A and B are shown apart, each in its own frame.
Chain A
Amino acid sequence: GAGVSQSPSNKVTEKGKDVELRCDPISGHTALYWYRQSLGQGLEFLIYFQGNSAPDKSGLPSDRFSAERTGGSVSTLTIQRTQQEDSAVYLCASSAPGPLVEQFFGPGTRLTVL
């Protein structure tokens, strides 16, 4: 079946603009994660959604970052007033419920803030 998809694949924006990144998880996966992959920082956890539970937002770096998941499926990560340090590849992953199940990753969105 279809894997995790993300859009856009690339986004170039100017400093101060808002951006929205989209993630379509694998159908039936109740858990959805956002990670950020940047030079020198590796892969960092941002936020985690599980079903109807309150999301784990502990990895969001500032209040400029927010995410929502509508209808338990598609998720949007929003970055307001982008800064150059926000430039990174933003990865989305989804999984079935359970602590040891595999997380399936999307191809990522490469964000460049000029």
Chain B
Amino acid sequence: GNSVTQMEGPVTLSEEAFLTINCTYTATGYPSLFWYVQYPGEGLQLLLKATKADDKGSNKGFEATYRKETTSFHLEKGSVQVSDSAVYFCALKTGTASKLTFGTGTRLQVTL
């Protein structure tokens, strides 16, 4: 079956620090990979996605590269802001199935 493993949180960083949130996956078939973000009091939002190996998804300064050889999709940002404080979820879907398989989420707290 499909599964997603992401690093335990919370992750606490100072503003302007470099962020990495690790995500690895197992999948039957060729997955598409996603990062979703949940800001406090808001619904889940798609942050970025990648649909094939070596693709790089990017949005709002965040990036993640689809690494098939290591089955990973790590989320990075060069300089985090307080407004990036949220819970980040790595997810995948395979084949024609539309349901998403999520990781457990990583809470990021950015302080001044």
Q: Chain A residues in contact with chain B, CB under 8 A?
A: 3-4, 31, 33, 35, 40-45, 48, 50, 56, 59, 91, 93, 95, 99-100, 102-103, 105-108
Contact = CB atoms under 8 A, between A and B. Distances in A.
Interface in B20-46: 32, 36, 41-46
By size class, the interface of chain B is: 20 to 34
A31 B98 contact: yes
B101 A45 contact: yes
Nearest to A56: B99
Interface string B97-112: 1111111110000000
16 contacts: A4-B43, A31-B98, A41-B104, A42-B102, A45-B100, A48-B99, A59-B99, A91-B43, A95-B98, A99-B96, A99-B98, A100-B49, A103-B100, A106-B43, A107-B41, A107-B42
Main secondary structure of the interface of B (DSSP, over half): loop
A59 to B, nearest CB: 7
Chain B CB count within 10 A is highest, among A31, A43, A91, A93, for A43
Interface in B51-95: 51, 89, 91, 93, 95
A109 to B, nearest CB: 11
A85 to B, nearest CB: 17
Given A42-B104, A99-B93, A105 B98 contact: no
Contacts of A3: 43
Contacts of B97: 56, 99
A48 B45 contact: no
Instruction: Please list the 3 inter-chain residue pairs (A to B) with the smallest Cβ-Cβ separation, ordered nearest first.
Output: A42-B104, A43-B102, A105-B44
A105 B100 contact: no
B105 A43 contact: yes
B43 A50 contact: no
Given A103-B46, A105-B43, A33 B104 contact: no
A42 B99 CA distance: 15
B44 A48 contact: no
